[in-house]
Amino acid sequence: MRATLITTLKNEASFLLEWVAHHRALGFTDLVIFTNDCEDGTDAMAERLQALGLARHLPNPGPWPEGPQWAALKRAEKLPEVTGADWALVADVDEFVNIHAGEGRLADLVAAVPGADAVALTWRMFGNAGIASHAPGLVTRTFLRAAPATLAWPWRAQMIKTLFRPQAFGKLGVHRPKQPKGEPRWFDGSGRAVDLGGRLFSDYRQDNYRLVQMNHYALGSAEGFVVKCDRGRANREAGAFDMGYWVERNLNQVEDRSILRHDIAGPLAALLADAELARLQAAAEAWRQARIATLLAQEDWRQFFGRLLMAGPSRLPSLPEVALIQRRRNP
């Protein structure tokens, strides 16, 4: 089975090798990496992965009328890694596929949804677990506090990414493929046949994670989030992160250690056994620490950092409060 993962990166070298090791362990066979405006060696790391036969790297310089991610997806949909794949997924480096079906591999998930053309991988938001300082280490082993299985607000916490058959759709999309050919069969992360219509999010009233979930480490440490804000968003050229983004995603209500079943120690060690990848990893960490120091020496960023620490973990609104929010939508 050929399965392709497509991503767009800027200044993510500190986290890239863990992400690659994890998804290769799950059974993704092809990796397409677009990079733009990198200062931390992400582009060099992607180039080295290509030299080792582990990825395809495509520089993605601007300007981009619709942002770097959309420009990358338009190029990606014509690549043989996509057109020749059995399955494809567009994902960011802070998103980790977490399969519960069978032995936790991609083949187990596909076997659990026979006849599927698309599987909605619902985000499981992982909060920052009260971690203020950035330190080297594995994201999936550091941040273990997450949103509960069901929650009524915020709706963005139940957004999806889509594992899909490229032959069933005409175009790629950030959250879901576009231009369906015929009537593709969709399943949710619990194995139910669903009709999502045009929605980008799952039904919050039910558990959508029984077979698979998309662990979304959108925040990281408070210091790391400052760097993320400085970088901007991938799907728009100048999209800001802010306190609202932090509050809507800093969900820590339950402990979720399920991703630990995926042992990536061996695959990660194999990557770091390459001297050039090891050098680039060390250089990326040094760059990130230096960038944190530079940003927090500036008063506006230091004030923002202080507000992050003051905000603490987010409280989920009660059902009556959610009803009030929804009622106010159409007064």
Residue with tokens 């083949």: 107
Out of 178-187, 227-236, 301-310, pick the least confident. 227-236
- Count how many residues are written for the chain: 331
Q: What is the pLDDT of residue 238?
A: 38
| Percent of the chain residues past pLDDT 70, beyond the cut | 96
Give whole-number Cα distances, 61 to 32, 64, 176, 243, 322, in Å.
16, 8, 24, 29, 42
- The whole-number pLDDT of residue 219 equals 96
Task: Decide which of 232 and 244 is more confident.
Answer: 244
Q: What is the mean pLDDT of the chain?
A: 93
**DSSP annotation string for 259-313:** GGGS--HHHHHHHHTSHHHHHHHHHHHHHHHHHHHHHHTSHHHHHHHHHHHHH-S
Which stretches of the chain are DSSP H helices?
Answer: 13-26, 42-51, 68-76, 80-83, 106-112, 139-142, 222-231, 243-249, 265-272, 275-296, 299-311, 319-329
pTM (two decimals): 0.94
pLDDT at residue 237, as a whole number:
40
Distance CA 278, CA 270 (A): 10
**Chain centre to alpha carbon of residue 262:** 17
Which secondary-structure segment (H or E) carries 164? strand 160-164
Averaged pLDDT, 225-252:
77
Q: What angle do CA 186, 205, 182 make, to 5 degrees?
A: 15
pLDDT, residue 235, reads: 42
The pLDDT of 232-245, averaged and rounded, is 61
What is the rounded CA–CA span in Å between residue 99 and residue 59? 31
Which of these ranges, 107-116, 201-210, 211-220, has the smallest mean pLDDT? 201-210
Lowest-confidence segment of 85-99, 101-115, 183-197, 317-331 by average pLDDT: 317-331
Which pLDDT value is given to residue 330? 60
pLDDT at 325 over 90: no
More confident residue, 12 or 238: 12
Q: Quick one: pLDDT at residue 240? A: 56
